[in-house]
Amino acid sequence: MLENKNILIGITGGIAAYKICTLIRLYKKSGANVRVILTPNALNFVTKLTLQTLSNNEVYVDNFDVDNFKPEHISLCDEADIFVIAPATANTISKIANGICDNLLTTTACAFNKPILLAPAMNTNMWNNNFIQENLEKLKNTGYHIVNPGTGFLACGTTGEGRMAEVEDIYDSTVKIFSRKQILKGKKILITAGGTKEMIDPVRYISNCSSGKMGIALADCAYNMGAEVTLVSTFKANKPYKNLVTESAIEMEKAVKENIVNQDCVIMAAAVADYRVKEPAKEKMKKGEKDSLTIELVKNPDILQEISGKGVLAVGFCAESENLIENAKEKIQKKGCDYLVANDISRKDIGFSSDMNEVYILDKKLNITHFERDTKQNIAQRILEKVFEQV
C-alpha cells in the first residue's frame, strides 16, 4: 500500500523524536520515499545526519534554506502524498490549529491540502488541558487524522496518558489512510447530521441532544475513503466536501430529495424531530399570566422511510433508551431501509456529544453485527466497510 508513496514526516521538539528513526525505516522497507522536516527544537533530540542517512534524502529545518526559486514549503507539499507529524507537541498542535506559521513545519502544514496525520506526545496534564483538547477537536473537524497517545511512563518521571503512540500504530494508521482512498472511489454518498430545530416562535424551538458528531465522522471517513460526499447538516461544517445547511425536518427533507439523484447511498445519521409545531408564532410569544402553555404538534415526514426502496442504498440510525435490538428490528421492517444502525442513548460513555460510540448494525434479513465501543471515527469506518462490503 505504501510502495512509491511520498511521505513527508514532521518531527517536533519532544523526547519521542528518537523513535521516528524506526518509523522512517518501516516506511522505507515498504517502498515509500521519505522526506523529513524538523522544527529547530527537534534538533535537540535527533540529528540531521541520522535522518538524512535513514531517509536517503535532504532534511529540512529552515524556511529560507532554499536552493531554488520555488519556496520549500510549497515544493514539499506538491511532492508529498501525506504529512505525518510525530511527535506532535502541544506547541505545534496549537500553532497548526490556529494558523500560525512561524517555522517550516507549521508553514508546510498550513499549505498542505492532502491527508495530515498527527501523533501527539506530551505530559499528561498538558494532554488533558482544555485548550489542547479544543485545538485537537478543531483539527479533527477539519479532517486531520489523530493517533491518540498511549498511557505509560513519561520522560517527566510520571505515569499517565500522553506517551506517543507506538511507531507500529502510526505506520498502521498511515496504511489505513491510503487503503481508505480505494474502497469508496467513484461512489457518491449523501449523509445527514445533527438535530433538527422546529420553531415555536422566532426565538424558541424544539430540538434534541444530537451533536452531529457521528454524521460528521461518517462524512469525513467516506471522503477519506474516496467517495464524493454531500453533507446535509443542521450546522455549518468547514469541510472539503459539499455541505448543505438546513434547520427543520421539512428543510432537510427538501435538501435530501433535491440531491438524491445519482447518489449511490444515503445515510440518515441526523436526529430528525418526529413532530413540529403546527403554527409557529410570527412574533415572540409573551409569558403573560398563564401558568401553562399548550402547543399543537403535527407529525414530520419520515425522510428515511420515504427514500427507502427507491433504488438508492438507504442506511438509517436508531437511537433507543431501552429494548435496543427489539426496537431496531421493528424499525428496519417498518422503514424498509437496507441497514439500520442502532445505539443505546441511555449510556453516558457513548452517544450524544461523546467522541465514542458502540453500535449494532441490522440488515433487511435481521442479521446483526456488533461494533464494540470505539471512537466515532473508527465506528464510522467500520459502518461504511460493512455497508459497502457486498456493493
pLDDT tens figures, 42-93: 999 999 999 999 999 999 998 666 555 455 567 788 889 999 999 999 999 9
Pairwise pLDDT comparison (69 vs 99), residue with the higher score: 99
H helices, E strands: number in the chain: 13, 20
Question: What gap in Å lies between CA 267 and CA 246, rounded to an integer?
Answer: 16
Question: What gap in Å lies between CA 364 and CA 390, rounded to an integer?
Answer: 14
> Could you tell me which of 224, 236, 310 has the C-alpha nearest to residue 266?
310
So where are the chain's domains? Answer: 6-181, 185-387
Predicted local distance difference test score (pLDDT) of residue 234:
97
pLDDT, mean of residues 248-271: 97
Predicted local distance difference test score (pLDDT) of residue 63:
64
pLDDT, mean of residues 205-225: 92
pLDDT tens figures, 329-378: 999 999 999 999 999 888 877 877 788 899 999 999 999 999 998 888 88
Which CATH number does 185-387 carry?
3.40.50.10300
136, 141, 145, 149: CA torsion to nearest 10: 30
Predicted local distance difference test score (pLDDT) of residue 77:
86
DSSP state of 383: H
Mean pLDDT of the chain: 91
| Pair 27, 54: CB distance under 8 Å | no
- Is pLDDT above 70 for 13? yes
Question: What gap in Å lies between CA 183 and CA 383, rounded to an integer?
Answer: 13
pLDDT, mean of residues 232-255: 95
Give the pLDDT band of residue 251 (cuts 50, 70, 90): very high
Predicted local distance difference test score (pLDDT) of residue 67:
54
Give the pLDDT band of residue 113 (cuts 50, 70, 90): confident
Question: What gap in Å lies between CA 118 and CA 137, rounded to an integer?
Answer: 12
- Is pLDDT above 80 for 127? yes
Q: What are phi and psi of 99, to 5 degrees?
A: 70, 25
Between strands 82-88 and 6-11, the pairing is: parallel
Predicted local distance difference test score (pLDDT) of residue 389:
85
Write the CB contacts of 359 (distance below 8 Å, at least 6 apart in sequence). Answer: 341, 342, 343, 370, 371, 379, 383
Predicted local distance difference test score (pLDDT) of residue 69:
46
The class that CATH gives domain 6-181 is alpha beta
pLDDT, mean of residues 233-261: 95
CB atoms within 10 A of CB 351: 23
Would you say how long the chain is, in residues? 391
Instruction: Give the whole-number percent of the chain exceeding pLDDT 70.
Output: 95
What's the grid cell of residue 156? 517527566
Burial class (CB in 10 A: 0-12, 13-18, 19+), 110: middle
Q: What is each CA distance from 199 to 49, 281, 293, in whole angstroms?
A: 64, 8, 15
Comparing 6-181 with 185-387, is the CATH topology the same? yes
What residues are labeled active site?
156
> Could you tell me which of 109, 305, 373, 319 has the C-alpha nearest to residue 211?
319
The whole-model pTM stands at 0.68
